[in-house]
Structure 1
Amino acid sequence: MNLSIVIPLLNEEESLSELHQWIVTVMTANNYSYEIIFIDDGSTDSSWQKITHLSKTNKNVKAIRFLHNYGKSQALHAGFAKAQGEVIITMDADLQDSPEEIPALYDMVMHKEFDLVSGWKKKRYDSVLTKNMPSKLFNWAARKTSGVKLHDFNCGLKAYKNTVVKNIEVSGEMHRYIPVLAKNAGFSNIGEKVVVHQARKYGTTKFGMERFINGFLDLITIWFISRFGKRPMHLFGALGVLMFVIGLLSAVYIGITKLYKLYNNEPAILVTSNPWFYIALTTMIIGTQLFLAGFLGEIILRTKNNEERYKVSETL
């Protein structure tokens, strides 16, 4: 099979039939063998009924329905697990991503040997203040932090080799950082393509300003995971030992100073009356706690079990 098109959605009943027909037209024109995988992330409208009807009229339509809204990352994780195509395309269901871009993305992965190709919505039709400017700031921070030189991490239109999606773990709210996850997994040949961004035709966006706040928090998380996720002791242990040694040396200095003054019959205050004694003690305690945090992190990494992150109610 050439293509698996993975489409996470939430309450997009108006656009599904049009999107499906558009994709089918492109697939037929290019003679692709394909599957369309809709992941209904807990829609409360008639999205699932629409998908069920489409699956009856087109055997290439497959679908997963979550019991309730778990988030885009979980939807993509489920779609990636089900996908069987040589190339996996992800796109949003709101008609802002154009299926006409799929052949070029497919060609870049199959013939130019990119592991992953990310879309770049160079010209956007979103609000400048609420989306464009925060998005530019977010993408700049993501580039600087991750080392992945993409202009648009948030673009839902991406193409992947099958081996990429089968070897990355998309969890939490990490769908924005799939290129970073791919890079950390060893897939470094990451490309970018300018794609057409269309104004939303139906409904309203499901994302607000909080996605940028969450995005920056997730950026810190993935920075930590990419550098210390497999070796937390290297960070916490090193900081803990450093703080403990500083505290210990300070305490030793205070003790030697006290003994020196006593030996020379000089007036000396009680050690416990010296504020530096408590600073040294606190530093040693914090250092010990950091070291233990790194130690516990190493134990958790070696004993963790895969947890269930979402529940599926139906599949097609």
Structure 2
Amino acid sequence: MNISIVIPLLNEEESLQELHQWIVKVMAENNFSYEVIFIDDGSTDNSWNIIEQLAAQNPNIKGIRFQKNYGKSQALHAGFAKAQGDVIITMDADLQDSPDEIPELYNMVTSGGFDLVSGWKKKRYDSVVAKNLPSKLFNWAARKTSGVTLNDFNCGLKAYKNIVVKNIEVSGEMHRYIPVLAKNAGFAKIGEKVVIHQARKYGTSKFGMSRFVNGFLDLITIWFLSRFGKRPMHLFGALGAVMFMIGFGSALYIGIAKLIHLAKNEKAILITDNPWFYIALATMIIGTQLFLAGFLGEIILRTKNNEERYKISKTL
């Protein structure tokens, strides 16, 4: 099979029929063998009924329905697990991503040698204040932190080799950082293509300003995981050692000062009246806690089990 198209969605009943027809047209024009996997992420409208109707009409249509809304990352994880195509295309269901981009994305992966190709919505139809400016800031921070030089990390239109999606773990809200996850997994040939961004035709966006706050928090998480995810003791142990040495040095200073006063028969202040006592006490406690955090992290890494992150109620 040439292509698997993975489409997560939430309450997109108005756009599904049109999106399906558009995809079928593009696939037929290019003689692609394909499957379309719709992942209904807990829709409360008629989306799942429409997916069932499409699957009855077209054997290339498959569906996964979550019991409730688990988020885009979980939907992509389920879609990636089910996908069988040589190249996996991800796109949104709101018609803002154009299926006409699929053939060139496919060729860039199969003939261009890329492991992953990310879309770049260079010209956007979103609100400048609500989305464009925060998005530019977010992408700049992601480039500087990750070392992946993409202009648009959050574009839903991407193409992957099958081996890439089978070897990355998309959890939490990490769908924004799939290129970074791919790079950390050893898939360094990451390309970018300017894609058409269309104005939303139906409904409203499911994402608010909170996604940018969450995005920056996730960026810190993925920075930590990429550097210390397999060796947390290297970070917490180093910080713990520094804090403990500061505390030990402070305690040593207090002790030497006390001995000097005693040797000179001078009246020395009580140790508990010396501010360095509290500095020593606090930093040594913090240092010990950091060491314990590192040990606990190492233990968790070695004993953790795979947890169930979502529940599927139906599949097609």
TM-score (norm 2): 0.99
Matched-pair identity in %: 82
Could you list the structure 1 runs, at least 4 aligned residues long, displaced by more than 2 angstroms after superposition: none
The one-letter code sitting in structure 2 at the alignment partner of 1:270 is: L
Tell me which residue corresponds to 1:121.
121
5+ residue gaps, structure 1, are none
Say which SS state the counterpart of residue 64 (structure 2) adopts: strand
1:175 aligned to 2:175?
Answer: yes
- Tell me, in whole angstroms, the C-alpha distance in 1 between the residues paired with 2:92 and 2:30: 21
Counting matched residue pairs gives 316
- Tell me, in whole angstroms, the C-alpha distance in 1 between the residues paired with 2:248 and 2:206: 53
- Tell me, in whole angstroms, the C-alpha distance in 2 between the residues paired with 1:122 and 1:241: 47
Say which SS state the counterpart of residue 62 (structure 1) adopts: strand
- Tell me, in whole angstroms, the C-alpha distance in 2 between the residues paired with 1:191 and 1:158: 10
Tell me which residue corresponds to 1:281.
281
Tell me which residue corresponds to 2:252.
252
Tell me which residue corresponds to 2:18.
18
Tell me which residue corresponds to 1:99.
99
- Tell me, in whole angstroms, the C-alpha distance in 2 between the residues paired with 1:60 and 1:146: 37
TM-score (norm 1): 0.99
- Tell me, in whole angstroms, the C-alpha distance in 2 between the residues paired with 1:127 and 1:250: 54
Deviations 1:46-93 (CA, angstroms, capped at 9, x unpaired)? 000000000000000000000000000000000000000000000000
Aligned-pair CA distance for 1:252 = 1.0
- Tell me, in whole angstroms, the C-alpha distance in 2 between the residues paired with 1:182 and 1:74: 17
The one-letter code sitting in structure 1 at the alignment partner of 2:315 is: T
User: Following superposition of structure 1 onto structure 2, how do residues 74-153 of structure 1 map, counting pairs within 5 Å?
Assistant: 74-153=74-153
Aligned-pair CA distance for 1:242 = 1.1
Say which SS state the counterpart of residue 305 (structure 2) adopts: coil
Aligned-pair CA distance for 1:170 = 0.1
The one-letter code sitting in structure 1 at the alignment partner of 2:34 is: Y
Aligned-pair CA distance for 1:245 = 1.1
- Tell me, in whole angstroms, the C-alpha distance in 2 between the residues paired with 1:252 and 1:137: 47
The one-letter code sitting in structure 2 at the alignment partner of 1:171 is: S
Tell me which residue corresponds to 1:232.
232
1:53 aligned to 2:53?
Answer: yes
Tell me which residue corresponds to 1:296.
296
5+ residue gaps, structure 2, are none
Deviations 1:11-56 (CA, angstroms, capped at 9, x unpaired)? 0000000000100000000000000000000000000000000000
- Tell me, in whole angstroms, the C-alpha distance in 2 between the residues paired with 1:275 and 1:141: 40
